[in-house]
Amino acid sequence: MDRHITYPVGTAALPFQSHERAGGLPTAGPRHSLRAGRFHRSPKEQQIVRRILLTGVAAATALAAAAVCAPAATASATAAARADDGRPHAHHAVFAQTNNPAGNQVVAYHRADDGRLTQTAVYDTGGLGGVLQGSVADHLASQGSLTYDPEHALLYAVNAGSNTVSVFTVDGDRLKLVEQVESCGTFPVSVAVHGDVVYVLNALNRGSIQGYRVVDGHLKRKTHWNRALGLDPNAKPQFTNTPGQVGFLADGSQLVVTTKANGNAIDVFALDSSGAPADSPTVTTVPGAVPFGFVPNGRHGLFLTEAGPNVLATFRVRADGRAAEKASVATGQSATCWVVAVGDLLFVSNAGSSTLTGIRTADHGRQLTLLGNTPTDPGTTDAAVSSDGHHLYVQTGVNGIIDEFTVNDDGSLTPIGSQTVPGGVGGEGIVAF
């Protein structure tokens, strides 16, 4: 597949440095437009955006020691208001994580029927955020750092600076901290849930995953569900050489990890009926792709961003764990890293261009149609869509702003407002209901 991208005048590809196999084809094996005038940037903001374009999102600092994996202190959970099914529930809410190194927080917003947000509260996670050295827009360089568990009405937030994960119960737009648990690795950046099984992705010290089961509203660590990823800890720059996301295929049978430039790989762990992972993943290498964020496509597929060539690609994951690319479309933007789905629409975030790219899918993802680009505030990162599919919210990390949009039937986006997140510069992690 041809990976040559021609960039429009005024844009630049990020200088992703990849550590890859020779050749240009995927290989596999086990491991042993819309309102351009809306956003006016000051000279200072323009300088920051140029930094993103020229240097990428940032270079990270390695943390010196791995966490001691022991249960963290927990708080007693109090009874929350219950839905008709007897569980707490979320509705008309948006939650955004600050990832502040002085104290991580989740900021809660009420969503009005017209999609506009009103801040309602700020909740301490009890842990610390983490900042990759020199970063501007995305201090974690990952997708899925704030994750909602709909079956148990729980919200999971990573504390990268504390090597822990905070667990909240959710009631409407209100949260209550239940506990912190150790991530059993260094610098957690992403959380995934399927049924009663939860996995956390640790980014540094060669990378690792740690599995848990949800028991009575708490995360119970499974000692034997920890797997090292075996990434190169000396690969530079670190912001492109730390893993990007952990997530399940839609049927829950396999667990996927993207490694970005540190191997340019899609790692797939087979899971047994209990949720335990195979001893090692099946690895599909896509040279130069820098695989970053993804969402499920059907039971056994993925829509995946490739930050190297700045494309959105469709992959099919086979039963043996090998991933095959079926289609792709170039955004023509810079730092195409995050993706969110709503119906047959995908919206990808381009941090270097400060835009959202709309894409319409058809034929199970084998047809991808580019719809155009929508400008945002500087440093477009994580995005989420409301439960009714009518509104999209995207974090922009340079100034810590959430931009609010209405999703139109034709796939275009209409801006309806914005919110400045307190302490949210460089923050990542957003969920919407």
Which pLDDT tens digit goes with each residue over 99-156?
999 999 999 999 999 999 999 999 999 999 998 776 789 999 999 999 999 999 999 9
Residue 400 has pLDDT above 60, yes or no: yes
Residue 398 has pLDDT above 50, yes or no: yes
Predicted pLDDT at 41: 52
Predicted pLDDT at 308: 97
Average pLDDT over residues 342-360: 98
Predicted pLDDT at 45: 52
Q: Is 297 helix (H, G, I), strand (E, B) or coil?
A: strand
- The alpha-carbon radius of gyration of the chain (Å, integer) is 20
The residues pairing with 371 across neighbouring beta strands, listed in sequence order, are none
Predicted pLDDT at 54: 41
Compute the mean pLDDT over every residue in the chain, rounded to the nearest whole number.
Answer: 85
Residue 78 has pLDDT above 90, yes or no: no
Q: Which range among 8-22, 153-167, 230-244 shows the weakest confidence by mean pLDDT?
A: 8-22
Give the type of residue at 62: A
* Measured distance between the N- and C-terminal CA atoms of the chain, rounded to whole angstroms: 38
Confidence label for 72 from pLDDT (cuts 50, 70 and 90): very low
User: Quick one: 119 exposed, middle or buried, by C-beta within 10 A (0-12, 13-18, 19+)?
Assistant: middle
Average pLDDT over residues 174-189: 98
Confidence label for 18 from pLDDT (cuts 50, 70 and 90): very low
> Residue 46: in which H helix or E strand, if any?
helix 43-55
Q: For strand 282-285 and strand 265-270, is the pairing parallel, antiparallel, or unpaired?
A: antiparallel
Spatial CB neighbours of 28, under 8 Å, sequence gap ≥ 6? 282, 283, 284, 285, 321, 322, 323
Give the type of residue at 372: G
Q: Which range among 75-89, 156-170, 218-232 shows the weakest confidence by mean pLDDT?
A: 75-89
Predicted pLDDT at 43: 54
Greater pLDDT, 14 or 406: 406
CATH code at 27-432: 2.130.10.10
Predicted pLDDT at 155: 98
Residue 185 has pLDDT above 70, yes or no: yes
Tokens of 370: 């580019």
Taking the C-alpha atoms of residue 38 and residue 90, their distance in angstroms, rounded to an integer, is 32
